[in-house]
A and B are shown apart, each in its own frame.
Chain A
Amino acid sequence: MEILKVKNLSVSYGKKIAIKNVNFTLKEKEILGFIGADGAGKSSTLHAIAGVVSFKGEVVYKGYAYHSPKEAEKIKNEISLMPQGLGLVLYDFLSVGEHFDFFRDLRGLKKDEEYETRLLKMAGLYEFQDRLAGNLSGGMRQKLSLILALLPRPKLLILDEPTTGVDPISRAELWDIVNEMREEGMSALISTAYMSEASKMDRLMLFDEGEVIAKGTAQELIEKIKDYTYEGEIESNECFSFNKRTYCLNPLPLKKAIPTLEGVFFVNALKKGKKPILIEVPKKNIDVPEIIVKAKCLTKKFGEFIADNCVDLELKKGEILGLLGANGAGKTTLIKMLLGLYPIDEGELYLLGKRIKSYEDRIELKSKIGYVSQKFALYKDLTIKENLEYFAKMHSLTPKETKEKIEKYSKMFGFEEYLNSFPKEVPLGINQRFSLAAALLHEPVVLFLDEPTSGVDTVARSAFWKLLRKLKENMGISILITTHYMSEAEYCDRVVVLKRGVKIVDDEVKNLHQKYPGLDFEEIFLKIYKENQ
């Protein structure tokens, strides 16, 4: 049975057209996935259907047609929307439990102890019901928003990148829950940046610049690009390489490979005449000690709760170190201690060979460190360009340098066209990119990146990693990075895995592959987590 029919849906903000003439139908119990580059129009489509933005065209839900948010009011009690962004719908000063009370009352629901417990357990929040949302980790916030969207048992679930920043374990659990609710008759529209997730959906729609350019099952989409997919990675300005695959329109003397869904983006970009951005990082020798960061038994407590429990960490010159772990494992807390954003409760810290004891010790190191936080620190009242200029000024760059750098990075990361927009108006992925640009402006020698690629589309992620590797190889910059894309861990030299604040693994990636032969990194990660109960 058809429960949703979308006809000629268009959304525009002022002059900017976000989507035009989108058409599709959704059957009962069906899960339809939206994929596409950042800013392609997935969110606008979801918002229009949820009735939170004005649109042109018609949406028919179970025979009821609506053409405006006002007309959509009637069906809102059957729909749940989870908008994009890390816990956007949460109130920082309300605890997890109070959020449940709020949403239950808002929807006039009766308390269903069993169901709520299940949701809380699935999200790993059962023990944290008294914790304020503002004190949850990024991924925990995301999961809380998600279970709140599930609370009213909607007939139509609309999720906008629900798993951004959610760890692999929870992502699997989320799918179990969605599948179960689907059995009870729920349908869902879900946008996602994780292609492994997209392949689990019944059907997919590929968005590009406001239009739907391909529809079909994951298999059908993959089928279309199999002629362009090769094994291995190469340096070329005609082809994209990412994740042990190379995508090229022209034939290559390489072995063909079985494509993954990620390839759809690259092939689409190539077909539109886009070329991989040439990233050039001048060779330079920076004068830094061999050990950039040395942390001995760092501990952080929040009241009784131990967020990081005696963690040792070493970051060497020219090394990319991946910091992995489930949501709430203590990654962000650890980085914040390294940066001095949280006081260190116990342990010793050396940065660039210098023992750090007080705030003063850090001042002269400021210009050598770049940081991208998980909840980015952008000024909402400034445009992206003004934000960058502000950061440049803070690091006393000359106006000429500033201009050159902004030009360079905006081109490199592909956010040129957004320079004059405000952070709120642009997709999450674009914000991520320019936060990274802001952290690079002053040419730091060490970068702390907290989930810089969460919510960023595949093509941009590949460019981003290319840049990181160039920074490392040509300039010897050291990078500490957290990510929930386990495939990205392959690009790290070494990984440190945290679980509930305790370090459980600290090893080179190639050693781990030797230890667990034949597994991809996501499988290795899940295995490690299981082994260390």
Chain B
Amino acid sequence: MRLNVIKAYLKKEFIDLIRNKMIILIYLIPTMILILFGYGIKLEVTHTRTIIIDNDHSKLSLEIINKFSHTKYFDVKVENISYKEALHKLQTNKADMIVIIPPSFSKDLYKGAQIGVFIDGSFPLRAVTIEGYVEKLLIHGFNIKLPIKIENRNFFNEAMRDYNAIVPGLFGLIFLVVPASLAAIIIVKEKEVGTIFNFYSAPIKKIEFVIAKIIPPFLFHSLNIFILFLWATYLFDVPFRGNFFIFWLTSEIYILISVGIGILVSIVTSTQVAALVLSVIITVIPGFLYSGILMPISSMDKESYIEAHIFPVSYYNHIIYDTFLIGQGFKSSLNVLYFIILCIYAFVLIALGTLLIKKAIK
């Protein structure tokens, strides 16, 4: 390997990315995804199985029950059971939400009466959405403030506040999609324009070329690790309980995996548009599905459980969730195993890319 070759390409790549303003996208897109999705992911959820325990039996409480019953969002059952029994139903997945109206609710209304709302938090995204509906219905309909507690069957996400589950999950999506597209584009652009001939016709080794193409997306996105981390902890107030070094290192490895995917994409495509579309398609879908944003991997059926473990995103997310919300770090042997698996992924993908990349016109 000769440094002068790599240096030549790197210098060119950096000048190019800065002058053609790509650099703006490199730093805008990840932040945009995080903010848009962090705030904006809301799915429409209908027919939430709702149990209302009415201990007040007042005109107001009946009105509330009525309001709940008359939308497609909730399937309401009014039951006369104890708080404990209700919680049990929630935990055994017999209900999705429980609303408890306390005995002197309408009387205490002006003093600041409260309604207890418990939402099954095992699907964080759905829980947040349901929460939104309830809030709208109660606050806008009755001007009632309420503490909503989302009951979570997932052990680590105990105190699930809205963003805690979603925001770390987005890291796995962003660092899969964005570095892959960038890597694919900066290689395919050379094919499209014709500058790839400089590589074909000069005595440059494939590994030199690949390394020169890996470094720019890798370095640029390394900075994004810090930027996104700051957004997560400051803007979204997600707690960070783990080890920052582990978080950082795992993210770097994960970016390498993404870049590796980008290289593979660049081998099979020949226009920038095609490279962009293909790299987004093959990364967005697993990035979303298996990130644990939509549903926790543990609650998937067997088939998708296995599928989820084929994609590196689930390993990454496991470690990221841990560093944000739990903080076991490498004390957990599962995390260590997952970290090693990620390293293997990165190595295999990049080795494969180097091997398969053609140094000749197809």
Residues on A lying within 8 angstroms of B by beta carbon are 47, 50-54, 69-70, 73, 76-77, 79-81, 83, 85, 88-94, 98, 101-108, 132, 380-381, 424
Contact = CB atoms under 8 A, between A and B. Distances in A.
B12 interface: yes
A93 B20 contact: yes
B284 interface: no
Given A69-B360, A102-B11, A108-B4, A90 B195 contact: yes
A90 to B, nearest CB: 7
Interface string B186-213: 0000001111011011111000000000
Contacts of B12: 91, 94, 98, 102
Interface string B8-23: 1101100110011000
7 contacts: A53-B360, A88-B197, A91-B12, A91-B195, A101-B8, A102-B8, A380-B271
Interface in B169-228: 192-195, 197-198, 200-204
A200 B130 CA distance: 82
Chain B: interface secondary structure? helix
Contacts of A79: 201
Contacts of A104: 8
A79 B204 CA distance: 13
A92 B19 CA distance: 10
A98 B8 CA distance: 10
Contact of A85 (B4, B194, B271, B360): B194
B235 interface: no
A88 B194 contact: yes
A91 to B, nearest CB: 6
B16 A91 contact: yes
Contact of B194 (A47, A53, A83, A108): A83
Contacts of A380: 192, 271
Contacts of B2: 108
Closest 5 A/B residue pairs (Cβ): A105-B8, A88-B194, A69-B360, A52-B200, A93-B19
Contacts of A81: 197, 201
A528 to B, nearest CB: 35
- Tell me the dominant secondary structure on chain A's binding face: mixed
Nearest to A44: B361
Interface in B232-285: 270-271, 273-274
Contacts of A424: 270
B360 A52 contact: yes
Nearest to A83: B197
B149 to A, nearest CB: 53
Given A76-B202, A106-B202, A89 B360 contact: no
A88 B202 contact: no
Nearest to A87: B194
Contacts of A52: 197, 200-201, 359-361
Contact of B16 (A53, A94, A381): A94
A89 B194 contact: yes
Contact of B198 (A50, A77, A89, A93): A89
A105 B13 CA distance: 14
A79 B16 CA distance: 27
Contacts of A47: 361
A148 to B, nearest CB: 9
A88 B201 contact: no
A76 B203 contact: yes
B195 A106 contact: no
A107 B198 CA distance: 10
A88 B191 CA distance: 10
